Amino acid sequence: MEFKRYIFLLDHPKINGTWAKARVGNFGNEKPDQLAKAATRNGQSRTTNIELPKSLIKNLLRKGILEKWQIYWNEGGTGRNAFNTITKVSLCPMIWVREEIIFFTEYGPFLAYLRRFGLARNDFCTCGGI
């Protein structure tokens, strides 16, 4: 860019440029600073909407929701059998076979589970074990 500027000035020798110290003694340069200072002193400052990329907003919301969900899951009073198996919340589906879910979470046709709802007399296996 600088090179093009020099070529342009060489081709147009009648153009003169002068250097002015930034915003000192030049009314046109000082006025924006004066207005900005006056606005902040008088409480007239404006809020500016800064547009953020949609992807950034979605990622921030997703992260916040997952953090709140994880706190709720950690401090929850129910679902502790499932919590012992799945300790971290996630939006990604976990590939489990139905039988594995039933076994590891202890939600299913187990006598200990059925007894909680009054559907079994005790939580002992028919073989005599627990």
In this structure, is residue 38 part of a structural domain?
no
- Amino acid identity at 13: P
Q: Is residue 91 in some structural domain?
A: yes
What pTM does this model have?
Answer: 0.47
Confidence of residue 66 (pLDDT cuts 50, 70, 90): very high
Q: In total, how many domains does the chain have?
A: 1
Task: Note the pLDDT of residue 11.
Answer: 79
89 falls within a domain: yes
Dihedral-angle region of residue 107 (phi above 0 means left; psi in -120 to 50 means alpha; beta otherwise): beta
Burial (0-12, 13-18, 19+ Cβ within 10 Å), 62: exposed
In SS3 terms, 66-97 reads as HHHHHHHHHHCCCCHHHHHHCCCCCCCCCCCC
Per-range mean pLDDT, top range of 17-26, 64-73, 76-85: 64-73
